[in-house]
């Protein structure tokens, strides 16, 4: 793998310049191709602070972060584009034709379980072709249900939070959203209402968007790409049987929609087991992006890779997806892994009463943080970001509000790191910039208050290395066949680890032990396999994995006969 720019030290000050609503429209941006194979042939805008790959040599791309756009071009094919990219070895001036941008993945914090499964999102961000950012924070003033819900409140609430997300342009800077729990219930419908079919693809954990929600009905966009993960032990299911739960979910999807899928795992809880998300997150995001590119072709290869990985962890379930082979639309179903008897979910555990605290600060500004910053934040770091924003206001005021002189010599230049003249030349007047910086500072004070109430979390290390023999699912691959191959390679690497090694998970470790004697027959050329990249393997080598892609059985779906409205 190439160097990861997230391992380079970046001051907390970078979190302020990272805020798109603070910096305003970029003064310069360039259009370059994506690094992901599923997005080949598609280009997107890259700005200062974006994660990219420098691909002078296709065999050894170098990861970096755009520090300055020297020449943005005019958008034509032959227009010159030049950028300065910060890599682990220094600043590099490159042409746009050598740069590939990472796909931006926005995790909506309320309901996403960052405290429990944040490491899964971080692992996704360690792949140089993804730039994972966290939008908002749980426990702040807007993290409560809107009016009409049983515990609903007037704004600020999750609905106003969703409105702010659309207003400050997060969807335009996002290639795929990830929602969980209440984020899917109350935030995604607001984005649907505001953006319609232009909403980016969404991975929705718990399937909150397909519930019988309070308030006025929200129209599910006809062309939205939505991948849901449902759990049989999730209290969102209510008292319905598994079959009723799936039928109710399918009925929420418009008849003409051809780009919706759900994976139902009978043993998944409301907070998904880490093994579940670790097994399928990479494949689900790739499936969403691929389906957006080719709406007429369901990404069955990526679905199969996710199902294969779930089977490794001992999970069975059902995949249902819409197809475009009929005027009225229909559903198809795949069954995978061990099937268990349906049992009702357990009610949520009662939460311990919290000690009385003073009211929170009034700030409601929506923060957007790189995943490595979001997971490392503490109350102190939030307050440092607030203090830094106020220092910037003082500097802008000292320079003269409304002036447009470059601020290369300003005392806070070291804090910006990304384009020193950012706050003067991004198209907004300094007075408005000051107002937004102060709003951001108030929001950080509120997030510091919320962070004090969070459970202690393990220290996050941006440069975490995999133990010898451990393979991260999805590392260095993004085609269905490569994902299936990586599943097999990870199984083999686990089986070969000594007892003292740290396994990916206990269930995967037990599964690997059972495969010790079977793997030599499944992978007859296993020794040679590791010295040959997947894309250069012979047909004989590749055939060793063929059986792994044939583990799902087709079954007519009960929802196929007019099972939705």
Residues in CB range of 507: below 8 A, 6 or more apart: 275, 313, 314
Quick check: 199 and 224 in contact, CB under 8 A? yes
**Strand-pair category, 202-205 with 226-233:** parallel
Predicted pLDDT of residue 1: 39
Q: What is the mean pLDDT of residues 424-450?
A: 79
Predicted pLDDT of residue 149: 93
What long-range pairs does 275-278 form, CB within 8 A, spacing at least 24?
A: 275/313, 275/315, 275/505, 275/507, 275/508, 276/229, 276/310, 276/313, 276/315, 277/117, 277/120, 277/205, 278/120, 278/123, 278/313, 278/473, 278/504, 278/505
Would you call 558 helix, strand, or coil by DSSP? coil
Give the CA dihedral 545, 550, 552, 554, nearest 10 degrees.
160
Q: Is the pLDDT score of 404 beyond 70? A: no
The most distant pair of C-alpha atoms in the chain lies apart, rounded to whole Å, by 74
Q: How far apart are CA 565 and CA 552, in angstroms?
A: 28
Predicted pLDDT of residue 498: 45
Q: Is the pLDDT score of 386 beyond 70? A: yes
- Tens of pLDDT, residues 406-419: 333 333 322 333 33
The residue that leads in pLDDT, 286 or 74, is 286
> Both tokens of residue 359?
């009211």
Q: Is the pLDDT score of 363 beyond 80? A: yes
Closest to 508 measured CA to CA, from 485, 489, 491:
491
DSSP 475-513: TT--SHHHHHHHHHHHHHHHHHS-TTS--S-HHHHHHHH
Would you call 85 helix, strand, or coil by DSSP? strand
Q: How far apart are CA 309 and CA 279, in angstroms?
A: 5
- Tens of pLDDT, residues 281-332: 999 999 999 999 999 999 999 999 999 999 999 999 999 999 976 555 689 9
Q: How far apart are CA 544 and CA 530, in angstroms?
A: 13
Lowest mean pLDDT across 133-147, 241-255, 525-539 = 525-539
Element (H, E) at 101: strand 99-101
End-to-end CA distance of the chain: 47
Backbone angles phi, psi at 299, to 5 degrees: -80, 65
Q: How far apart are CA 403 and CA 391, in angstroms?
A: 17
Top CATH class, 103-336: alpha beta
Distances from the Cα of 520 to the Cαs of 409, 494, 515, 523, in angstroms?
Answer: 64, 14, 9, 5
Quick check: 50 and 17 in contact, CB under 8 A? no
Closest to 414 measured CA to CA, from 90, 13, 68, 8:
13
Predicted pLDDT of residue 403: 40
Q: Is the pLDDT score of 489 beyond 90? A: no
Distances from the Cα of 436 to the Cαs of 40, 101, 408, 445, in angstroms?
Answer: 37, 28, 21, 14
- Tens of pLDDT, residues 263-280: 999 999 999 999 999 999
Q: How far apart are CA 502 and CA 466, in angstroms?
A: 10
Is residue 216 left, alpha or beta, with left meaning phi > 0 and alpha meaning psi from -120 to 50? Answer: beta
- Residue 205 is given by DSSP the state E
Q: How far apart are CA 409 and CA 521, in angstroms?
A: 66
Q: How far apart are CA 560 and CA 86, in angstroms?
A: 52
Distances from the Cα of 475 to the Cαs of 119, 303, 315, 393, in angstroms?
Answer: 15, 17, 22, 42
Q: How far apart are CA 564 and CA 253, in angstroms?
A: 7
- Tens of pLDDT, residues 136-191: 999 999 999 999 998 899 999 999 999 999 998 899 999 999 999 999 999 999 99
pLDDT confidence band for 456 (50 / 70 / 90): low
Quick check: 452 and 379 in contact, CB under 8 A? yes
Would you call 547 helix, strand, or coil by DSSP? helix
Q: How far apart are CA 373 and CA 495, in angstroms?
A: 34
Q: How far apart are CA 144 and CA 154, in angstroms?
A: 9
- Could you list the beta-strand ranges (E) of 311-411: 317-323, 330-336, 368-370
Which residue is listed with tokens 């311990």?
352
Name the H helices within 296-369: 300-312
């Amino acid at each position: 793998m190439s160097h990861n720019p997230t391992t380079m030290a970046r001051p907390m000050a970078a979190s302020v310049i990272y805020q798109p609503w603070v910096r305003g429209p970029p003064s310069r941006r360039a259009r370059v191709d994506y690094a992901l194979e599923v997005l080949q042939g598609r280009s997107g805008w890259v700005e200062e602070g974006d994660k990219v790959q420098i691909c002078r040599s296709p065999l050894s791309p170098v990861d970096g972060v755009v520090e300055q756009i020297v020449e943005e071009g005019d958008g034509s094919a032959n227009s010159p584009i030049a950028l300065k990219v910060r890599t682990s070895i220094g600043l590099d001036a490159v042409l746009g034709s050598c740069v590939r941008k990472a796909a931006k993945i926005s995790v909506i914090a309320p309901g996403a379980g960052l405290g429990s499964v944040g490491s899964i999102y971080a692992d996704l961000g360690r792949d140089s072709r993804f730039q994972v950012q966290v939008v908002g924070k749980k426990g702040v003033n807007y993290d409560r249900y809107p009016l009409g819900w049983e515990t609903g409140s007037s704004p600020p609430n999750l609905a106003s939070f969703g409105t702010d997300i659309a207003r400050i342009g997060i969807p335009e800077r996002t290639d795929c959203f990830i929602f969980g729990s209440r984020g899917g219930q109350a935030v995604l419908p607001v984005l649907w209402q505001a953006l319609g079919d232009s909403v980016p693809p969404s991975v929705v954990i718990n399937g909150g968007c397909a519930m019988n929600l309070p308030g006025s009905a929200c129209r599910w966009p006809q062309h939205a790409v939505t991948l849901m993960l449902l759990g049989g032990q999730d209290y969102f299911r209510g008292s319905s049987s598994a079959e009723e739960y799936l039928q109710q979910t399918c009925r929420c999807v418009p008849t003409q929609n051809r780009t919706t899928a759900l994976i139902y795992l009978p043993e998944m809880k409301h907070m998904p087991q880490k093994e579940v998300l670790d097994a399928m997150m990479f494949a689900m995001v790739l499936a969403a992006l691929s389906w957006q590119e080719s709406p007429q072709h369901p990404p069955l290869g990526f679905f199969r890779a996710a199902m294969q990985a779930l089977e490794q962890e001992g999970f069975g379930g059902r995949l249902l997806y819409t197809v475009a082979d009929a005027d009225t639309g229909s559903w198809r179903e795949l069954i995978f892994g061990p099937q268990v008897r349906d049992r009702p979910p357990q009610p949520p555990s009662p939460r311990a009463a919290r000690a009385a605290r003073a009211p929170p600060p009034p700030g409601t500004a929506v923060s957007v943080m790189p995943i490595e910053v979001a997971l490392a934040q503490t109350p102190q770091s939030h307050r440092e970001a607030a203090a830094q924003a106020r220092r910037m206001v003082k500097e802008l005021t000292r320079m003269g509000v409304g002036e447009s002189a470059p601020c290369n010599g300003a005392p806070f230049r070291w804090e910006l790191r990304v384009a020193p003249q950012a706050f003067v030349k991004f198209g907004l007047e300094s007075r408005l910039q000051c107002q937004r910086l102060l709003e951001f500072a108030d929001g950080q004070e509120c997030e510091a208050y919320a962070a004090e109430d969070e459970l202690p979390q393990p220290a996050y290390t941006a440069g975490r290395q995999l133990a010898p023999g451990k393979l991260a699912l999805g590392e260095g691959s993004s085609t269905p066949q490569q994902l299936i191959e990586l599943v097999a390679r990870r199984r083999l690497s686990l089986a070969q680890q000594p007892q003292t090694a740290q396994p990916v998970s206990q269930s995967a470790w037990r599964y690997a032990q059972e495969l010790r004697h079977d793997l030599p027959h499944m992978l007859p050329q296993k020794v040679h396999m590791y010295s040959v990249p997947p894309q250069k393997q012979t047909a004989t080598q590749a055939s060793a994995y063929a059986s792994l892609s044939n583990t799902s059985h087709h079954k007519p779906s009960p929802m196929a006969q007019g099972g939705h409205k």
